[in-house]
């Protein structure tokens, strides 16, 4: 085995010299290329919050914060008081046909189950694609917000002669009174019941 001298080791471990920046004819170095100028304007909190909130929503299963932000618009005031979206999960490798997990209080679950197609359609419309295919309802504690003030009922409307003639033939006075109250309530409403 050949012996190496200390001078040979110095040659091996010596770092290569870096080239000096080229200067002009007078030997003065030129300034580095100008960096792209960043905007120095102050940014509002509203510009920063969606980015920060997006990380938090992704952590808890939401890639889109729109479902949480617009929940009242999706299910209506009455359902929104007693439910909240928890997460949106997709089948592995897909970004559509997912399951929206919702926490619901008490007896609202069966009512929300009946409105499931309408809720799915509204969520998909807000997200812009067929993101949700089904709902998974879980009984949970949801802090109900105070109910909005009730709208005053309109003044009773006189029933039409046709309606009165059909109710006249009913012999049971309690049944007749119930049907008159139902006809009165239907005269205040417009169209079939919908989720508001």
Q: What's 66's domain CATH number?
A: 3.30.300
Q: What is the pTM of this model?
A: 0.46
Same domain, 122 and 177: no
For residue 83, being part of any structural domain is answered with: yes
Same domain, 162 and 110: no
pLDDT (tens digit, 9 = 90+) per residue, 35-76? Answer: 555 667 777 665 666 555 555 555 544 556 788 888 989 998
Compute the distance between CA of residue 187 and CA of residue 182 in angstroms, rounded to an integer.
9
For residue 160, being part of any structural domain is answered with: yes
For residue 27, being part of any structural domain is answered with: no
Per the structure, the complete domain to which residue 108 belongs is given by 45-139
Pair type for strands 132-139 and 98-104: parallel
Mean pLDDT throughout 162-166?
82
pLDDT (tens digit, 9 = 90+) per residue, 102-155? Answer: 999 878 888 899 999 999 999 999 888 899 999 999 988 877 666 666 667 666
Same domain, 77 and 134: yes
Task: Quote the pLDDT of residue 36.
Answer: 53
Same domain, 120 and 176: no
State how many domains the chain has: 2
Give yes or no for a contact between 142 and 75, defined as CB atoms under 8 angstroms apart.
no
């Amino acid at each position: 085995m050949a012996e190496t001298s200390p001078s040979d080791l110095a040659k091996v471990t010596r770092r290569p010299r870096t080239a000096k920046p080229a200067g002009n004819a007078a030997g003065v170095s030129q300034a580095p290329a100008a960096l792209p100028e960043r905007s120095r304007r102050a940014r509002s909190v509203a510009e920063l919050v969606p980015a920060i909130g997006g990380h938090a929503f992704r952590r808890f299963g939401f890639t889109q914060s729109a479902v949480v932000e617009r929940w009242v618009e999706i299910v209506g005031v009455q359902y929104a008081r007693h439910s909240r979206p928890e997460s949106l999960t997709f089948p592995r490798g897909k970004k559509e046909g997912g399951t929206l997990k919702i926490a619901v209080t008490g007896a609202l679950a069966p009512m929300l189950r009946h409105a499931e197609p309408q809720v799915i359609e509204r969520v998909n419309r807000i997200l812009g694609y067929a993101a949700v295919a089904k709902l998974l309802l879980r009984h949970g504690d949801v802090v109900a917000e105070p109910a909005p003030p009730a709208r005053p009922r309109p003044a009773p409307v006189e029933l039409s002669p046709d309606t009165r003639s059909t109710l006249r033939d009913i012999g049971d006075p309690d049944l007749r009174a119930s049907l008159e109250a139902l006809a009165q309530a239907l005269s205040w409403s417009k169209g079939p019941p919908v989720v508001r």
